[in-house]
């Protein structure tokens, strides 16, 4: 078998992941859409919408978390934190996002 350089491609893996930024932006847009359109719905319905529309994006992104920066990880966690505030309806500054995530069973 002979090596054919014309059929080869280079795959570069770096910490400059544009994928994380794209997914974060898309998740923020979906969260904004949900907050505009279902804000008066019960928490259970809000949670179901989030897990259906945003959850798969976040899970898919988790695969690439090993090659991202701490800043990108915080941005992804902030998306989930904002959604937890929205679903629970608890926007107080003293509220624990970690506790909300555990209550909603959104932690691993």
| pLDDT tens across the length of the chain (108 residues) | 787 888 888 777 666 677 788 889 999 999 999 999 999 999 999 999 999 999 888 887 766 656 677 888 888 889 999 999 999 999 998 999 999 999 999 876
Domain ranges of the chain: 18-104
Instruction: Report the alpha-carbon angle 65-68-69, nearest 5.
Output: 130
Give the pLDDT score at 31: 94
DSSP-assigned states of every residue in 27-86: HHHHHHHHHHHSTTS-HHHHHHHHHHHTHHHHHHHHTTGGGS-HHHHHHHHHHHHHHHHH
User: Do 58 and 80 form a contact (C-beta atoms < 8 A)?
Assistant: yes
What global pTM score does this model have? 0.76
């Amino acid at each position: 078998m002979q090596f054919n350089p014309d059929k080869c491609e280079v795959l570069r893996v770096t910490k400059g992941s544009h994928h994380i930024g794209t997914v974060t932006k898309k998740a923020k847009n979906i969260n904004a859409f949900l907050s505009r359109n279902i804000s008066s719905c019960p928490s259970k319905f809000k949670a179901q919408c989030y897990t259906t529309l945003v959850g798969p994006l976040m899970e898919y992104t988790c695969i690439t978390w090993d090659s991202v920066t701490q800043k990108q990880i915080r941005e992804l966690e902030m998306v989930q934190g904002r959604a937890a505030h929205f679903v629970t309806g608890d926007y107080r500054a003293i509220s624990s996002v970690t506790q909300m995530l555990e209550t909603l069973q959104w932690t691993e």
